């Protein structure tokens, strides 16, 4: 509990003040780059193999030769406009070690230089490329972190609509599914969230949407068709402003007849699953690894 308190306090002093107003993209990228660099101190770089999948240069982490056992397709977070590349790679390397499956990480195009639907199109192209390369859908598990979880859900909906098979499962880590900010926690948790504030919503709409209505199901999958999706596994903190996004999404998915699990963690920050100092991060990783194993065995 003490470590959790220290981590939350540190984030309140460093990252949350960025959201006192609506920051520029350059300011957010600079802040995340500094934090990402600090996280690399004293650590060996993660080996990354770059390859073309579906016309997108993706990062393979782990042993590509093990792809026959299963592949993890990872969509990173960052508000559709920022990327903490080193932290993403460390998390993916841990997944590859614990599951024995290679991770394909998609460095999708970022807004505002490439607004919707560029990043989503990249993610869909990679999924289609894995299928075209002979990797069966039941050997693929999709993971999305924050903005990447939004993209992961829309990817599943697009795959269904395109007649592509669903993956073995999909893991949603702190998924923002309603860019209208219509979830009660979007305001109710404004003070409790140690990392983000409600100012993130106009920022995302300004940088990412490119004129698309925020309730369009391709940017707010909460309002999409939830029928016929892969098994879904949600994780979120009870202090996040997007807490109720995960709750509402899980309920929509259940009502549509999908297999759904939801874990709500107590008083941990957004992206807590990246933070080695938190025991909740290790417990969350264990649940994620167990879900991946079960999903691939079902396939």
Catalytic residue among 76, 233, 235, 270: 270
Catalytic residue among 220, 240, 271, 280: 240
Catalytic residue status for 271 = no
The candidate with the shortest Cα–Cα distance to 216, out of 163, 173, 177, is 177
Catalytic residue status for 240 = yes
16 secondary structure, DSSP code = G
Catalytic residue status for 266 = no
CA 104 to CA 54: how far, in whole Å?
A: 12
CA 215 to CA 292: how far, in whole Å?
A: 31
Catalytic residue among 146, 183, 194, 271: 146
Question: Quick check: 165 and 159 in contact, CB under 8 A?
Answer: yes
Task: Please report the sign of the dihedral spanned by the C-alpha atoms of residue 226, residue 158, residue 180, residue 22.
Answer: positive
Residues 6+ apart with CB under 8 A from 27: 18
Report, as residue numbers or ranges, the catalytic residues: 146, 240, 270
């Amino acid at each position: 509990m003490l470590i959790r308190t220290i981590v939350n306090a540190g984030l309140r002093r460093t990252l949350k003040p960025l959201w006192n107003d609506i920051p520029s993209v350059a300011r957010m990228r600079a802040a995340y780059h500094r934090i990402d660099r600090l996280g690399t101190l004293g650590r060996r770089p993660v080996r990354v193999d770059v390859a073309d999948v579906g016309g997108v240069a993706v990062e393979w982490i782990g042993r590509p030769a093990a792809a026959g056992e299963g592949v993890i397709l990872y969509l990173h977070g960052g508000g559709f406009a920022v990327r903490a590349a080193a932290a993403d790679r460390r998390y993916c390397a841990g997944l590859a070690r614990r599951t024995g499956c290679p991770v394909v990480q998609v460095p999708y195009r970022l807004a505002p230089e490439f607004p919707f639907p560029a990043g989503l199109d990249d993610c869909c192209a990679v999924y289609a490329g894995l299928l075209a390369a002979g990797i069966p859908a039941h050997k693929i598990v999709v993971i999305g972190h924050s903005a990447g979880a939004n993209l992961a859900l829309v990817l599943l909906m697009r795959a269904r609509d395109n007649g592509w098979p669903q993956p073995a499962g999909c893991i949603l880590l702190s998924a923002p599914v309603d860019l209208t900010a219509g979830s009660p926690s979007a305001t109710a948790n404004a003070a409790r969230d140690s990392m983000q504030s409600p100012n993130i919503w106009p920022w995302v709409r300004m940088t990412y949407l490119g004129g698309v209505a925020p309730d369009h199901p391709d940017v707010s999958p909460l309002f999409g068709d939830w029928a016929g999706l892969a098994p879904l596994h949600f994780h979120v903190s009870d202090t996040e402003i997007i807490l109720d996004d995960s709750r509402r999404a899980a309920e929509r998915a259940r009502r549509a007849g999908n297999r759904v699990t939801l874990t709500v963690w107590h008083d941990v920050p957004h992206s807590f699953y990246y933070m080695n100092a938190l025991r909740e991060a290790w417990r969350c990783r264990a649940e994620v690894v167990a879900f991946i194993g079960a999903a691939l065995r079902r396939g």
